[in-house]
Structure 1
Amino acid sequence: MEEVGGRTLRVARWRLDEPSDHPPVLFFNGIGANIEAVAPLAEELDDRGFIMFDMPGTGESPDPTIPYTPFTMSWTAAQLLGRFGLDEVDVMGVSWGGAMAQHFALQHPGKTRKLVLVATTAGMLMVPGNPASFTKMANPRRYIDPEFMNEHFATLYGGVDADGAAHQKDSHIGRLKPPSPRGYMYQLLCMLGWTSAPVLPFMTKETLIMMGDDDQIVLPINGKMLKALIPNSRLHMVEGGGHLFLLTHADESIAELRNFLDAPEDETRQAA
């Protein structure tokens, strides 16, 4: 637990005190998700530091007293980096956290080296996903009821086949802890009316956009929109990947992340 910017946050750190040729990764999670859900990714990227935190009211972070905004949480994240002496990081976000990652990079360009946007959108100016997925996402049973998750996993997240579905469902639900009602509501309110679309053409950071072509929640067209809006960006489409392709297609995802994060600046621009 860390007291940061007037908030108490549960923070997870990997290898920040170990020497590395790469800057650490600052990670913003999806809505309602806790640190454990993404811990396997942090462990796989074992040649660099990694830092993330549970948003207020999710995981083990206490409920927020008042609502927050992308600006205040980006400021809080920057304060957290300063707490551990991190001057520059690679910023990565998934889904809801992808919006936070965009805002952080725009608000704190001096602290951001490269940007990775996974299964995300430019905010309110997006192409909506499968209505059935949004209906099931709004049901809190998806966090606490394995049977509900098993029954609706493909509709919710896409990108799983009959042979692998049971394993992926069990591994995902086992790492999730339901957010508090206030924590979940405040996360929804945080992005209400938010969009990055008008300012993305001014984004100067090298950006990797990763999308699953079977994502039922964030349709792949949203990744193409981000690619069109961000000048120095590249788009990687995960074939057969749903909303959770970082977990279901982990090997491909990790390989693409390493290729992008480790590439010199001129190589990244040529690939884009």
Structure 2
Amino acid sequence: MTVDLHHEQHGDPAMPPVLLLGSLGSNLHMWDPQIHALAPHARVIAADLRGHGGSPAPAGPYTMADLSDDVVALLDRLGLHSVHVVGLSLGGAMGQWLAAHHPQRVRTLTLMCTSARFAPAQKWIDRAAAVRANGIASIAESIVGHWFTPELAQRDPDLFARHIEMVCSTPDEGYAACCEALAEWDGRDDLARIVAPTLVIAAEQDTRTPPSVHQVIADGIAGAQFHVLSPGAHLANVEQAGAVTHLIERHLDRHATVPVDAARRAAHDVGMAVRRSVLGDAHVDRTIESTTPFTEPFQDFITRTAWGDIWARDGLDHHTRRLLTLAILTAVGNEHELDLHIRAALRAGVDPQLLVEVFLHAAVYAGVPNSNRAFALGKQALADLADANEGSSRQ
């Protein structure tokens, strides 16, 4: 079950949306340097992850899918089909998950001070146990010690103290359960599935996620751009605020207009309308409700191509396309799709006698056995429709 993520929005709502996802133990204010710099040119959305900041902290353990599904739910609430995703550390892992499993929601991807696998797993399990036993405050100073280089910590003790306070404000259970999400996650096999234009940023002095693990990400994602900043540790967006912001802005500018994405969204919207008009709302709603991350890319594909392109063409009206579809499915013997389209046609009011003519015609050119099966499916569909109508009349 998803949770409602606490978030803040800055900038012009009409500008391209940029979603900022932060590090384990942080809250959305870790992004203050980027929020103020990006707001004049973007709709900036900074979110507290599950178990962090102002977001709920349900009992764990969590999974990367849980954390990322919270983000998808947030986008849905905001009415955003897709966003530019910027993630650091845990937020970067979530960005990888989103880009691999919900590719249509990610316009571009910026991954910073993160990894495709946070090994060894036992380290995170032990840390979760320690936080549950002794509280997050017991390790807060150690955590922030890895966020900044020693030189910056000595030069700006107030910055160091503010971030210790940030970590201490993180709920113990939220932090521990997110540690468990990192322990079980391995996104290396998903890297090849990521198609969003990707920028990878590493920091030379980051002992948690050194440049070598970023190289794995950059090598695994086709066309990824890779930069290493120095000096900088795990919160490079703070220590190298200007350089990081410049890289993000340049990445967004390079992909400011994404005609392919716009076309995909337009085709999906048209296709969904056509699909509903042909197959009916009830069937389409059932299909959508049963969609999983595994089947979602295929559902998006058929909605855009079959329904948003072919069925939406002007050359043939939908009635003619229905009859052609029934004839072709009969000819190739695709019983599952044939049954679906027979029932959709009858619900739409197509005269059963027309189905008879289609199946007889197919018998001559595609074979009697296939048409025989089509007649059997049609007979059962008519019987089921009659039963349904009779049941409705008795109510």
TM-score relative to the length of structure 2: 0.56
Is contact 2:83-2:105 (8 Å) kept? Answer: yes
In structure 2, how many angstroms separate the alpha carbons of the residues matched to 1:96 and 1:264? 24
In structure 1, how many angstroms separate the alpha carbons of the residues matched to 2:21 and 2:255? 24
In structure 2, how many angstroms separate the alpha carbons of the residues matched to 1:229 and 1:86? 28
Q: Tell me the SS of whatever aligns to 1:98.
A: helix
What's the RMSD between the two structures over aligned residues?
3.1
User: Match for residue 270 of structure 1?
Assistant: none
Deviation at 1:11, TM superposition (A): 2.0
The reply to whether residue 121 of structure 1 matches residue 137 of structure 2 is: no
The reply to whether residue 186 of structure 1 matches residue 182 of structure 2 is: no
Quick one: structure 1 residues 6 and 243, their matched pair in 2 at CA, closer, same or farther if it must change by over 3 Å?
Answer: closer
User: What is the aligned residue count?
Assistant: 250
Deviation at 1:174, TM superposition (A): 5.0
User: Match for residue 161 of structure 1?
Assistant: 151
Residues 162-241 of structure 1 mapped to structure 2, 5 A cutoff: 164-241=155-232
The partner residue of 1:41 within 27, 34, 39 is 34
User: Match for residue 28 of structure 1?
Assistant: 21
Deviation at 1:165, TM superposition (A): 4.2
Q: Tell me the SS of whatever aligns to 1:199.
A: helix
Amino acid at match of 2:170: P
In structure 1, how many angstroms separate the alpha carbons of the residues matched to 2:144 and 2:4? 33
Q: Tell me the SS of whatever aligns to 2:50.
A: coil
In structure 2, how many angstroms separate the alpha carbons of the residues matched to 1:137 and 1:72? 17
Deviation at 1:52, TM superposition (A): 3.1
The reply to whether residue 251 of structure 1 matches residue 247 of structure 2 is: no
Quick one: structure 1 residues 153 and 265, their matched pair in 2 at CA, closer, same or farther if it must change by over 3 Å?
Answer: closer
Deviation at 1:136, TM superposition (A): 9.6
The reply to whether residue 79 of structure 1 matches residue 69 of structure 2 is: no
**103-112 or 34-43, which deviates more:** 34-43
In structure 2, how many angstroms separate the alpha carbons of the residues matched to 1:170 and 1:28? 22
In structure 2, how many angstroms separate the alpha carbons of the residues matched to 1:137 and 1:107? 27
In structure 2, how many angstroms separate the alpha carbons of the residues matched to 1:165 and 1:43? 21
Is contact 2:144-2:163 (8 Å) kept? Answer: no
- What is the CA deviation profile of residues 54-112 of structure 1, one whole-angstrom value per residue up to 9, with x for unaligned ones? 22332122321454322233222112112112122011111111111100111111111
Quick one: structure 1 residues 34 and 153, their matched pair in 2 at CA, closer, same or farther if it must change by over 3 Å?
Answer: closer
User: Match for residue 7 of structure 1?
Assistant: 3
Is contact 1:158-1:216 (8 Å) kept? Answer: no
Q: Tell me the SS of whatever aligns to 2:232.
A: coil
Deviation at 1:40, TM superposition (A): 3.1
Deviation at 1:221, TM superposition (A): 0.6
Is contact 1:33-1:59 (8 Å) kept? Answer: yes
Which is helix-richer, 1 or 2? Answer: 2
Amino acid at match of 1:122: A
In structure 2, how many angstroms separate the alpha carbons of the residues matched to 1:176 and 1:80? 24
Q: Tell me the SS of whatever aligns to 1:37.
A: helix
Give the 4+ runs in structure 1 shifted more than 4 A: 135-146, 151-154, 174-177
Seq. identity, %: 25
- What is the CA deviation profile of residues 120-157 of structure 1, one whole-angstrom value per residue up to 9, with x for unaligned ones? 00014x5x7xx9xxx999976996589x73x8855x23
- Say which one has the larger Rg: 2
In structure 2, how many angstroms separate the alpha carbons of the residues matched to 1:33 and 1:153? 10
In structure 2, how many angstroms separate the alpha carbons of the residues matched to 1:227 and 1:7? 31
Deviation at 1:224, TM superposition (A): 1.1
Quick one: structure 1 residues 230 and 152, their matched pair in 2 at CA, closer, same or farther if it must change by over 3 Å?
Answer: closer
Any stretches of 5+ residues in structure 2 without a counterpart? 258-395
TM-score relative to the length of structure 1: 0.79
Is contact 2:136-2:172 (8 Å) kept? Answer: no
Is contact 1:160-1:241 (8 Å) kept? Answer: no
Is contact 2:4-2:70 (8 Å) kept? Answer: no
User: Match for residue 103 of structure 1?
Assistant: 97
Q: Tell me the SS of whatever aligns to 2:188.
A: coil
Which is strand-richer, 1 or 2? Answer: 1
